[in-house]
Homo-oligomer: A and B are copies of this chain.
Amino acid sequence: MPKTNTINGVSAPPAFETLRTKLAEIHDLVKTAQLLAWDQQTIMPPRGGEARAQQLGTVGRIAHETFVSDEIGALLEELRPYEESLDRDSFEASLIRVSRQDYDKAVRVPPELSSEITRTGSRGFAAWVEARAKSDYESFRPWLEQLVELKHRYVDCFPPADDPYDTLLDDYEQGMKTAEVRTIFDRLREVLIPLVEGAGSSATPSVRGHFPAQAQRALSLEIVRRFGFDETAWRLDEAPHPFASSLGTTDIRITTREPESSLDGLFATMHECGHGLYENGVDPALERTPLARGASLGLHESQSRLWENLVGRSRPFWSWFYPRLQKTFPGVLLPPAEDGDVRHLAQVPGEE
């Protein structure tokens, strides 16, 4: 933990230490819920699902109830003058500010609703996995409807916004409005569609072939170890929908999916490794505080895409990696050109 602020020789008031202790315990619960969810999505025996949904619901509710308690509200109020006396970017001011933002939102949501959303999400996940395996959307539809209905009830806890989605978007990208996102995407569409169409026949097709999952996993690990993945603080597992989760700044869990008909899994791994690197890069001094997380989903995604696209689809990356890939799948991929240049290899995914 960072030392307490001693600006003007004044140390943090006792209320700050109390708040920090409470928030550390709530953080433990939030991270515990992340383990429950990670385990469910990666390695849990399928029939463990019903007990798991209950466990997630209970831990989520207790985390929520503890956070929205009158005690936390009173501490945040009491600490307002202290916060205002500090540099905005100091650890103490940031902890109080971010906690207050979270608190002002969480306090509007009944713990039973947040618990129901978690439980239903967990059960819906199990239903989705089954439906996905059978390409059977109809069996998932009732779960999706129930989740949308619950999200509407969540939105109803907040003052009306220009767009109902504004309330949900704010949880991922603070202050961003649906209308702004639409403007951005409209502009991107204007530019990108002609660009892709213009590229036309010169665009590289996807790599096709048979790539055994185990060999892909070894390559994935070879790549992410170069990015910063390290077995003492990371895991790489399989999940039906890849995600990254941090159970601590030095317990980073990334997941991937390796369909054997393509090499898309390598890019999923690089993407999730980017998320993991962002979480792994959090100052250990912020451990067990609500500051130990990404600043927003947009920033998080910028990190994952940096590694997936700016690194993982770059020519320098492929100059290093293509020979390894070719060696692993000798019958499937063309050998590199004699000058080591990979530009002419139509099967290589990425830049042109």
A residues at B contact (CB < 8 Å): 24-25, 28-29, 31-32, 35-36, 39, 43-48, 50-52, 54-55, 57-59, 62, 231-235, 247-252, 287-288
Contact B59 A29 (CB under 8 A): yes
- Complex Cα distance, B35 from A216, in Å, reads 29
> Are A28 and B55 in contact, with the CB atoms below 8 A?
yes
Contact A25 B58 (CB under 8 A): yes
Contact yes or no, A51 B235, CB < 8 A:
no
Closest to A33 in B: B32
Identify A51's interface contact among B25, B62, B232, B287, CB under 8 A: B287
12 contacts between A and B (CB under 8 A): A29-B59, A31-B51, A32-B59, A44-B251, A45-B231, A45-B232, A47-B232, A48-B250, A50-B250, A50-B287, A52-B247, A59-B59
B32 adjacent to A55 (CB under 8 Å): yes
A28-B58, A31-B51, A54-B24 known; A45+B288 contact, CB < 8 A: no
Tell me if A's interface is mostly helix, strand, loop or mixed. helix
The 5 closest A-B pairs by CB, nearest first: A48-B251, A51-B248, A28-B58, A47-B250, A47-B233
Residues of B within 8 A of A31 (CB): 51, 55
Contacts of A36 in B (CB 8 A): 32, 35
Q: Kindly list chain B residues whose C-beta atoms are within 8 Å of the C-beta of A50.
A: 248, 250, 287
Least CB separation from A34: chain B residue: B55
Asked whether B45 lies within 8 Å of A251 as measured between CB atoms, the reply is yes
Which of B25, B44, B231, B251 has a CB less than 8 Å from the CB of A52? B251
Whole-angstrom CA separation of A181 from B349 in the bound complex: 69
Q: Chain B contacts of A249 at CB under 8 A?
A: 51
Residue among A25, A248, A250 having the largest count of chain B Cβ atoms under 10 Å: A248
| B-chain residues with CB within 8 Å of residue A231 when the two chains form the complex | 45
A35/B39 contact (C-beta < 8 A), A45-B251, A48-B248 known:
yes
Residues of B within 8 A of A235 (CB): 43, 45
A52 to B58, CA, bound (A): 19
* A52: B residues at CB distance < 8 A: 247-248, 251
Complex CA–CA separation, A288 to B31 (angstroms): 22
- Chain B residues near A51 (CB, 8 Å)? 31, 247-251, 287-288
Q: How far is the CA of A45 from the CA of B57 in the complex (A)?
A: 26
Complex Cα gap A290–B288 (Å): 31
Contact partner of A288 (CB less than 8 A), chosen from B24, B46, B54, B233, is B54
Which residue of A24, A55, A62, A250 has the most chain B CB atoms within 10 A of its CB atom?
A55
